């Protein structure tokens, strides 16, 4: 059976440099990722091992508004920005995107065709992947999207370490450990996600993806509300409608 791992989280922002500097001031490394030339978006990235954060902005609004591919991440960015910055969706990584797509279709999920993704990094090198997005939501919470990178996780980790893209942050060793979602009915959402995706149900309100956890809490408005980062000290970073909770591991 195909497996899913938490790959990254998208945070819509208008000013990528402001987001980068906000993280840098807190001792968290963030850097220019590059441009998605076929979609009109661009990003700043911050890595915590292979799980990373993507600050995503609109570089070419005319292009982003005109895309014909069913890329919900870009389409939602066009709807949200510039007025509503904040978390978007989580991305789940697999080594068999075709099998995941078949499973989602079996559960009558409105999944896109598999799309070829690419961007040019700050060194103008081409980075490529395959991805698919899901239209709609469950009880108001947008579904994750699914990505498959070329090469194994170990190969990618070694390449990113050699390029110093993955390195220790000035604040110390940091690990992205939890995503906290607010939903009207946590147990119903957990049951649904555990049914349509190959994700383990840890408890009535928690899902596990290897050593990471998705936590669901009851609230009227459905949204991804917080990312928890294990770090040497405890602090809260509030930025553009999103919360980053640094939780001390000491």
Per-residue pLDDT tens over the stretch 123-147: 777 888 999 999 999 999 999 999 9
Determine the Cα–Cα distance for residues 95 and 102; give it in Å rounded to an integer: 14
Cβ-contact 38, 51 below 8 angstroms: no
Q: What is the CATH number of the domain that holds 176?
A: 3.10.180.10
Q: Are strands 175-183 and 212-218 parallel, antiparallel or unpaired?
A: parallel
C-alpha distances out from residue 56 to 24, 40, 47, 131, 208, Å: 17, 11, 14, 16, 26
Q: What confidence tens digit (pLDDT) does each residue in 62-74 have?
A: 999 999 999 999 9
Phi, psi of 183 (to 5 degrees): -145, 155
Cβ-contact 122, 42 below 8 angstroms: no
pLDDT at 1: 64
Name residues of the chain where pLDDT drops below 50.
none
Q: Which domain holds residue 181?
A: 5-164+172-248
pLDDT at 120: 78
Phi, psi of 53 (to 5 degrees): -110, 135
Q: What confidence tens digit (pLDDT) does each residue in 99-110 have?
A: 999 999 999 999
Domain count, the chain: 1
pTM (2 decimals)?
Answer: 0.96
């Amino acid at each position: 059976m195909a497996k899913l791992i938490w790959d990254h989280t998208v945070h819509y922002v208008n000013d990528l440099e402001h987001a980068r500097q906000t993280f840098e001031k807190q001792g968290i490394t963030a850097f220019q990722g590059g441009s998605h030339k076929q979609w009109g978006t661009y990003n700043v990235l911050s890595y915590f091992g292979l799980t990373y954060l993507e600050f995503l902005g609109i570089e070419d609004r005319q292009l982003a508004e005109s895309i014909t591919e069913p890329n919900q991440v870009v389409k939602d960015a066009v709807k949200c920005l510039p007025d509503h910055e904040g978390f978007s969706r989580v991305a789940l990584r697999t080594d068999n995107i075709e099998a995941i797509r078949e499973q989602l279709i079996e559960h009558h999920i409105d999944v896109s065709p598999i799309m070829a993704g690419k961007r040019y990094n700050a060194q103008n090198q081409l980075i490529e992947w395959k991805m698919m997005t899901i239209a709609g939501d469950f009880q108001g919470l947008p579904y994750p999207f699914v990505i498959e990178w070329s090469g194994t996780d170990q190969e990618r980790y070694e390449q990113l370490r050699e390029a110093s893209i993955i390195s220790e942050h000035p604040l110390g060793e940091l690990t992205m450990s939890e995503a906290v979602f607010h939903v009207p009915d946590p147990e119903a959402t957990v049951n649904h996600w555990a049914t349509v995706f190959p994700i383990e149900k840890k408890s009535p309100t928690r899902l596990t993806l290897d050593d990471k956890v998705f936590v669901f809490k009851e609230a009227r408005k459905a949204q991804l509300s917080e990312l928890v980062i294990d770090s040497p000290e405890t602090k809260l970073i509030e930025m553009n409608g999103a919360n980053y909770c640094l939780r001390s591991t000491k």
